[in-house]
Amino acid sequence: MSKHFVPENLPTHLQHYIGGKFVDSIGGETFEVLDPVTNKTYATAAAGQKADIDAAVVAATEAFKNGPWPTMSPRARAKVLYKIADAVVAQESRLAEMETFDTGLPITQARGQAQRAAENFRFFADLIVAQHDTALKVPGSQLNYVNRKPIGVAGLITPWNTPFMLESWKLAPSIASGCTVVLKPAEFTPLSASLWATIFEEAGLPTGVFNLVNGIGEDAGDALVKHPKVPLISFTGESSTGQLIFRNCAENLKGMSMELGGKSPAIVFADADFDAAIDSTLFGVFSLNGERCTAGSRILVERPIYEKFVAAYAARAKNIKVGDPHDPATQVGALVHPEHYDKVMSYVEIGKTEARLVAGGGRPENLPEGQENGSYVAPTVFVDVAPDARIFQEEIFGPVVAITPFDTDAEALELANNTRYGLAAYVWTNDLKRAHNFAQDVEAGMVWLNSHNVRDLRSPFGGVKASGLGHEGGYRSIDFYTDQQAVHITLGDVHTPKFGA
């Protein structure tokens, strides 16, 4: 497939969506949006400033205080959420084309995103209808119950990897809970977010419940985080940005949910199912172009199978099809943006001074015609990586992996925990006792045993250490977007000390 595919009716200008209307920035500011296959500008987007965030918060506040959404019954809200899910699925092929064009993700991996996004809305629709809250009775004395209510305007700041699906992770529970929202999508990938407004309108979501402001993090994101009338910030992104947001939320004591970076270990013991471990550890770091927070980007392999593993892994990595994201045969597409490409390539060069390169290490050969300037990186494998190497310690967020041997379970655990991050971990062993003990001792918010990253929407999603603050998923998401007010009623006689009698 040599000719670069461009989706039909591609917008050339993306606007904000505030109070039910598509609008430009009040000051007329814009920024350019690139296509990662050619790295050429294909559209401009309105660049939100403080004034635009203010306008969006006014609209969201009005919808929260005077609109019908927060006080509707859970069943009534659920009906709208189901319509949203159906509308997302109806857009599946269009969405996949737009997502691939905007992000460089392979089309086969973009196609599942609409189904996953729709499932988020169905899941939280079911959850709010089925949810019950605590009632506690002290016989003859007191009855206490929990009155759960939405907190207000939620600020949602989302990343550029699988943007539409990750936006749904935040939009579904916040809207289901009765909050109104201001979404600030990542500036690298604003295209698919533009679909939400029409989807929500057609599903019957009341005006002002959903607002979208495009823009750069330092402008639009910063204004949203600092806004005194936005009591909640949900952020997914890089850890140093999370630290900055944490500091800026302190002024107004905002609620925060932050899913941050990762340098997740995949630990392969000698007794593991070798072929399954190879398949999964390859997929775990090279799917989604390696641009995934839960990537198993450090692979720790027990010494007796280390050389065999390295040889098999390198051979497979060299065979991965890199190329046009719209080609169904492509397994790794173009990285999202030249800035990110430069960052990943700088780590590839660092790795060459720190470890042994056995696959990749540069741009792939034989790129499609017209795509020679695209942000392509060949799947890159470093082995014999020392624990203090930068490529072992720092998040690269691309198709680059570090493989390191270990001799004992204790050494494996020490290596696994030897970074500032703690998002995910993957353990491969057929020893049941070892599997559970290792999983419980590893410093990670999520652990998969003999599995790659398979998500259950009921379970908590989040990290420890520099990988996050708080958890989302299931009831934990509802807890974040609602206040749980305790109401106490006396059933018997009141016995109060008579001060001043």
**Catalytic sites, residue numbers:** 259
Q: Which of 269, 272, 271, 280 is nearest to 302 (CA)?
A: 269
Provide the 10 A C-beta neighbour count for residue 343. Answer: 15
SS3 154: strand
SS3 236: strand
Helix (DSSP H) and strand (DSSP E) numbers for the chain = 16, 21
The Cα–Cα gap between 483 and 64 comes to: 15
The Cα–Cα gap between 319 and 432 comes to: 33
Look at the block and give the residue holding tokens 């939405």.
150
Instruction: Identify the sign of the CA torsion 413, 419, 422, 427.
Output: negative
Look at the block and give the residue holding tokens 């907190």.
151
304 is written with which tokens? 């007796």
Q: Which of 127, 229, 235, 80 is nearest to 476 (CA)?
A: 127
The Cα–Cα gap between 199 and 205 comes to: 9
Between vectors from CA 489 to CA 484 and to CA 495, what angle results, nearest 5°?
Answer: 130
16 is written with which tokens? 């904000």
Checking DSSP bridges between strand 380-383 and strand 356-359, what pairing results, if any?
antiparallel
Amino acid at 391: I
The separation between CA 285 and the C-alpha centre of its own chain, rounded to angstroms, equals 16
Residue 422, burial from CB neighbour count under 10 angstroms (0-12, 13-18, 19+): buried
288 is written with which tokens? 């989604």
Query: Quick check: 360 and 378 in contact, CB under 8 A?
Result: yes
In sequence order, which ranges of 213-302 are alpha helices (DSSP H)?
A: 222-226, 239-250, 274-286
Q: Which of 63, 50, 59 is nearest to 22 (CA)?
A: 59
Which value, to the nearest 10 degrees, does the dihedral of the CA atoms of residues 133, 138, 140, 145 take? -20
The Cα–Cα gap between 36 and 345 comes to: 15
The separation between CA 300 and the C-alpha centre of its own chain, rounded to angstroms, equals 25
